Amino acid sequence: MIPQKIIIFIDFDGTITKEDVGESIFRNFGDKFIVDKIIDDLLNDRISAMQSWIELCKSIDKVDVILLNDFIYRMEVDPGFHNMVRFCDDHKIQIIVLSDGFDYYIDMIFNREKLNGLKYFSNHLTISPQNKLIPEFPYYDPLYKYSANCKRNHIINNSRDEDFTIYIGDGNSDKDTALYCDLIFAKKSLLKYCEKERVSFSPYKTFDDIINKLSVFLARKNLKKRHQAGLKRREVYISE
């Protein structure tokens, strides 16, 4: 029998970091009125996640790279996340970060925090010689609008049906995605989404909350997989 692995899929912006780094960048360097309109369109499903990023990047005519890098470098990681990483290392739990943001700032923050060993998937961002922000979406799935970096596909491709999967998130790009996992830790808008859709989840405020709850779950010999998550995964297999 194949041993059951535990895999945690975790959002980056506003989950690992205290603030939504991507949104903060555009609010700081772009036109606040335009940025607010784009984000409102995204949250109300008038545009897709990929469209929102393209429009947000267009909203900044030229970016001062030195100021941008300094701004990113000051973005704080939730202090409990290091405890979470150590807990997972001690219990041989794999962490995979799924971000609908950009590698440009994730690399900078992970390097600063000495978290380079964490596996992650995200969108790609470069800065042109004219100092324009150029977004690319290597993991885009046209059938999946909630995340320009299709988090659902990463969950399917990086776990087996036998594995016990956990999702930790807080935002719009986590909607529906989390439903493919056996255990969901949610806060903010993901929590509201789960409540609205009557999806079972565990609320949390800090990573210590998650560590405490996971300690209880790990004490069980057999982790009970969520039936609805299995059905969602099978839907994907059938459609392919």
Instruction: For 74-83, write each residue's pLDDT tens digit.
Output: 999 998 999 9
24-41 pLDDT per residue, tens: 999 999 998 999 999 999
Distance CA 126, CA 104 (A): 7
| Average pLDDT, integer, range 124-145 | 96
For the domain made up of 6-239, the CATH class stated in words is alpha beta
Return the number of other C-beta atoms located less than 10 Å from residue 46's C-beta.
12
Mode of pairing for the β-strands spanning 6-10 and 202-203:
unpaired
Return the number of other C-beta atoms located less than 10 Å from residue 109's C-beta.
18
Mean pLDDT, all residues of the chain: 93
76-134 pLDDT per residue, tens: 999 899 999 999 999 999 999 999 999 999 999 999 999 999 999 999 999 999 999 99
Q: Are 141 and 158 in contact (CB under 8 A)?
A: no
48-59 pLDDT per residue, tens: 999 999 999 999
